[in-house]
Amino acid sequence: MDYFEYRDKRLFAERVRVAEIAQEFGTPLYIYSKRTCLEHFRRIEEAFAEARPLICYSVKANSNLAILKIMAEAGAGFDVVSGGELFRALKAGAEAKKIVFAGVGKSREEIKYAFQEGILILNVESESELEETGRIAGQMGKTLDVALRINPDISPETHEYVRTAEIGSKFGMEISGAEQLVRKMNRFPNLRLSGLHMHIGSQITSTRPYARALERLVEFAHLCRSLGMDVRWLNIGGGFGIYYKEKEAKTAQELARVILPRVKSAGAKLILEPGRFIVGNAGILVTRVLYRKETFGKRFVIVDAGMNDLIRPSLYGAYHRIWPIEPEDETKLETADIVGPVCESGDFFARDREIPTVKEGDYLSIFSAGAYGMAMSSQYNSRPRAAEVLVDGSEFRLIRKRETYEDLIRGEA
């Protein structure tokens, strides 16, 4: 469910006509629906209510302060992977004791910052990181909670760039290595092993990978307890897929039916880290048609957004639905590549896509752009980053100003 819908051939974001927003703020423009964010958060809450989980919104999906504030006010915790994300979450009003810190390469400064702020738990990904964390805890004179991130060695059945639980992945540690660390935890008197963590990948559209991974994680949790560890938290990450094209993803209820019985058998509290599931379909990228071009029998629709604004199609070959925000005639279709102005052949949003015929000046909506859109944007080709707008019912407001040319060189000498 999302709240972007066509009424009389005009696209609305909740109760606001998208054309009105685009005309006021220009393009490229990200538009988010507050109601959609809350709807998907509530669906996870309801589906997993039996376990009373700590739902930690994954900041990397969309880190705009306005989005983070919505999540904090809804009662969410936060999954952060950098000192900057921790800073953002705290600025947005997050409770430190609802924050988990993951990431394969945390710096000493980031680890210290996290513990100074009093976060719930730090997910440790290697023996070296555990040793460094132990040194920091000793210097601080505190006993700190950590979780070991486990690589369960299963295929998450998703794009290779977002698989994080197979042999060869940089993330987590194999179970045999983790067991050796557990047996040596007495070497770290200032660390308390209070949880286990896994995150098997992103945009996962099947329940099978979670079932297989959890079987291994739960078995390891029991082993840790037999070795004297008080494993109170089982953090199973996120990665829940969403609808980009067809209804291929699983609902929160379907995921819960597979996940909850296995977590219950572990006798631990549940942590979830959804990001895309909450904000993916809560955002669109609006772009304007600059030119039409035909060459060598190929038709191109050239728009003012580029791969610097939304890199997923170029990076992952990802599909995003694209449609005019106010199509003149939906029965008159054409096939074209929809491309941007960046000087790269990979600067495209769709290839050989059938859409209603558009003319220069028309607006297109690139749907399902709320996650890993603006968060992964750049200033490549010295292109100022897009503006962002939040819609709440019949009201809308700017939540990030469009960058200017002056912004491009700010901080340079």
For residue 28, say if its preceding peptide bond is cis, omega within 30 degrees of 0. Answer: yes
Closest by Cα among 39, 45, 77 to 392:
39
Are 362 and 289 in contact by the 8 Å Cβ rule? The answer is: yes
The pair of three-digit structure tokens given for residue 28, joined into one six-digit string: 């490229």
Q: Which of 37, 56, 224, 343 is the catalytic position?
A: 343
Contact between 155 and 239 under an 8 Å Cβ cutoff? The reply is no
The one-letter code for the residue type at 59 is V
Helices 175-183 and 127-140 meet at what angle, rounded to 10? Answer: 30
Alpha-carbon gap, residue 317 to 203, rounded angstroms: 13
Pairing relation of β-strands 191-197 and 4-7?
A: unpaired
Compute the distance between CA of residue 222 and CA of residue 229 in angstroms, rounded to an integer.
Answer: 9
Catalytic annotation present for 37: no
Are 286 and 365 in contact, with CB atoms under 8 Å apart? yes
Q: Is 320 exposed, middle or buried (0-12, 13-18, 19+ CB in 10 A)?
A: buried
Q: List the structure tokens of 355.
A: 């859409």
Q: Containing H/E element for 115?
A: helix 108-117
Question: Which residues are identified as catalytic?
Answer: 343
